[in-house]
Structure 1
Amino acid sequence: MSETESAAAAPVAAAESKPRRLRGHKKGAVTCCVASSARPGVVASSGEDGCLCWFDLRTKDALLTMEAANKPISSICFKPGNEDFVYISAGNEILSFDVRMGTQSKPLETYNYNRDEINQIAVSSKGFLAAADDSGDVKIVNTIQKCLYKRLREAHTSICSSVQFIPWRPWTAITGGLDSKLAAWDFSKGRTLFSIDYGSPELQNGSSSGSAGQCFNPAFVHSVAVSEEGILGGLYKGPPRAAILTTRSKGAELGDGSCNQSRAKRIHLDYTMGGHTAAVSCVAFSAFGEKGKFLISGGNDASVKLWDWSKGFYSETNSKVDLVLDIDVKKKVNWLCTAPTDSDNLIVCDTSKVVKVYSFR
């Protein structure tokens, strides 16, 4: 693990040199993890072995291992307001489980509205579930009435890799795809509010034309994170906006969600700032530290970066974003999340079957 020179001045101490290892998955890579907001220290993970594992960071062993699917699980999320229920995606199916039923739990609900493999699912506070798949479509399911609500299509021309709801705008969803596009949706009407094409020449780091380098470094969107309303309330003065973090090949980009591409404020966190040297696979706003102060990115270069993004994004001065920590995790990163307990914990899923926990004191 290495630190940048700015780390000494940052309010986050160095991570432990060796991570704790949480074992529970049988084989293959751990694909996704999510931290409980209602139970501090509880983390759920999913894997290529079709298993769900629950961990308490105060213990070493899994609290529960459930054989949930007979195929790899691509995504997992808790049901808002009742985290005894969890949703997973496996293949083109969405399944829900009650963890109180134990290891032999059977799916409570099964949804088969997606025709291609699902890459990510998300659930809103109003009970709508979004599933982004390889066809470029996003299906919105009403989990209360247990039916298909809307089909979002024609914004993406390739694989739709990620989807998130905006917490304080209950009818708005954000999607990203391998067509290099980010789209905001009014899913109650099934139409786009705006779309940003990161593959366009004007967004290619100031390039005036489609360069040959674009063929080798496409601006694919692999992951999207949306800040909480409370984060914006403390850092942004003006109408509420989405602080949207997207991953791209060899870089992460933070934007304000504006539909006007020419006026929207963006920060591109690439290798010139100490960032990733290969595709960024996952991004997240941290749940520890001053609320909204840090964002975390993980990549195919087997590293995790912790950034203090607020200086560069909301400051009226020319303050630069700080790279606070640079952690070598040895393997490609599939997913990550944060879970503050007595210490600040960063949970990393990589191409191994072990969940790794880096703690900050």
Structure 2
Amino acid sequence: MMMSNSWSGGHVTPVLCAAVSHGSEQLIATGAESGELTVWNHDGLPLSKLHVSSDDVTCVTFSPSVPTLLYASHGQTVSVLDGRNLKSAVTDVQDAGEDEINCLSVNKTGDTLAVADDSGAVRIVDLQLQKVTRTLQKHTNICSSVMFRPHRPQSLVSAGLDMQVILWNLPKVRPLWSFSLTDTLQDNAPPQTAGQMFNPPLAHCVSVTSCGNVFACAAEDGCVHLLRVSGDSRLWKRGVFKAHSQGASQAHFIGFLSHPYWLATGGNDGLVSLWDLSEDAVVANERTHKQHVRAHNKRHKAREKTTSLKQQTKEEEADGALSSSDTCGNIGPKLCLSHREKVNWICPAVLKGKPSVLVTDQSCSPTVYSIEKL
């Protein structure tokens, strides 16, 4: 039986979101309805609580550069707090969102915040100036998720209920590219059982691997859509696999297991699943891509030393484009947890030295599952 632990005493309303800091003084934060915000220790004991607003706390995230600095969204506002002591907000960024905020992401250098909201916009906040410096407008419906790419502090990906995944590169306000999840389904439609209603792939959550080149998007069709980009950020490969019998609400890559291609998903079917994507057709070549490039360049230089690096890149992309779309039909979860409640948020974390997944739902108590057997 899978070990689980319920954390109580932190909230009296349903918990909507969670985040974990990455410093030596590791903290866990959760946000709930009616403005409740709580910071926990690894034993599941509340360290500090704050009623930050009358609006729901829709997203929490810690700064990668200052691990105790906590950001919490409520309504159209982002509160900046000291995670060690939630007496009050250090400052508030008013009107950070044009409409209700759904997701926050801080870049690796800790100087820029991306805010996704119900208007469909992604707003960029300069955290030193504490103000919005630009607005990225391409989504035609709610923008549900946004994430900066690791190692690329000026590059971010967003996803929304318009079924679009969009890659941006700051300071430009026009996207590098946008991709409709319906295109993947048309190429690789997963088998559906008789009588099953088709749900459009409304994009709920996007995650990026630690290498920054593979995206996973959880969608309302119950599928996880995979996208892989090339070294110059062009869309290179795509695929899809069925993850949940109802809408998939969460997808998060896990960076602390045996390799960076472990993925945790959660859905409206009450399941939390762990997937090993290292051998998947869309991402498998990522593990050996650098070796392939070095070998290719060595052979190529031996044949013709005058070939430019730009031409090499084009040839490599042409090779990859031969299988630009793949169905991941044989993928199955390595671990499937019956949470029994609709999943609001998933937060992978190392708690007390053990790999774990923290799950929030419509209850007021987060649940922690140990995944150390993976």
Which TM-score band applies after superposition, normalised by the shorter structure? 0.7 to 0.9
**What is the Cα deviation at residue 360 of structure 1?**
3.1
Query: Displacement, 1:346?
Result: 0.9
Contact 1:41–1:339 (Cα < 8 Å) also in 2: no
Match of 2:207 among 216, 225, 232: 225
3-state DSSP class of the match of 2:279?
Answer: helix
Quick one: percent identity of the two aligned structures?
29
Distance 1:92 1:352 in 2: 24
Q: CA–CA distance in 1 between the matches of 2:12 and 2:95?
A: 26
Q: Deviations over 1:225-260 (max 9, x none)?
A: 01112xxxxxxxxxxx62101011211122203576
Shift of residue 335 of structure 1? Answer: 0.6
246, 267, 271: which one aligns with 1:303: 271
CA contact 1:31–1:350 (8 Å) conserved in 2: yes
* Contact 2:77-2:96 at 8 Å conserved across structures: yes
Tell me the residue number matched to 2:251. Answer: 283
Residue 91 of structure 1 and its aligned partner are, at CA, apart by 0.7
Contact between 1:22 and 1:55, CA under 8 Å: does it hold in 2?
no
Q: How does 1:1-361 map to 2 (within 5 A)?
A: 15-16=2-3, 19-39=4-24, 42-57=27-42, 59-100=43-84, 102-126=85-109, 127-153=111-137, 155-200=138-183, 203-206=185-188, 216-229=198-211, 242-249=213-220, 250-257=222-229, 264-270=236-242, 275-313=243-281, 314-315=283-284, 320-340=330-350, 341-361=352-372
The 1:189/1:293 distance shift into structure 2, 3 A limit, reads closer
Q: Residue 3 of structure 1 corresponds to which residue in structure 2?
A: none
- The 8 Å contact of residues 267 and 312 in structure 1, kept in 2 or not, is answered as no
Runs (4+) of structure 1 exceeding 4 A deviation are: 258-261
Task: Give the drift of 1:321.
Answer: 3.4
Name the TM-score, length of structure 2 as normaliser. 0.79
Q: Which has the higher contact order (CA 8 A, sep 6+)?
A: 1
In structure 2, distance between residues paired with 1:343 and 1:75? 25
Shift of 1:205: 4.8
C-alpha spacing 1:252/1:40, structure 2 compared with 1 (3 Å) = farther
TM-score by length of structure 1 reads: 0.82
Contact 2:21-2:68 within 8 A present in 1 as well: no
Which secondary structure state, in structure 2, belongs to the residue aligned with residue 223 of structure 1? strand
Alpha-carbon separation, structure 1, partners of 2:63 and 2:355: 24
**Cα distance 1:184–1:69, how it changes in 2: closer, same or farther (>3 A)?**
same
8 Å CA contact retained: 1:56, 1:62: yes
Q: Is the 1:310–1:321 contact (alpha carbons within 8 Å) kept by the matching residues of 2?
A: no
AA paired with 1:26? H
Paired residues of 2:37 and 2:50 also in contact (CA < 8 A): yes
| Higher CA-based Rg | 2
Q: Which runs of 5+ in 1 are unaligned?
A: 1-13, 208-212, 230-240
Aligned to 1:11: none
- Partner Cα separation in structure 2 for residue 163 and residue 179 of structure 1: 14
Indicate if the aligned counterparts of 1:309 and 1:322 stay in contact, CA closer than 8 A.
no
Q: In structure 2, list runs of 5 or more residues that go unmatched.
A: 190-194, 286-325
Amino acid at match of 2:2: A
For residues 61 and 204 of structure 1, what CA distance do their matches in structure 2 show?
48
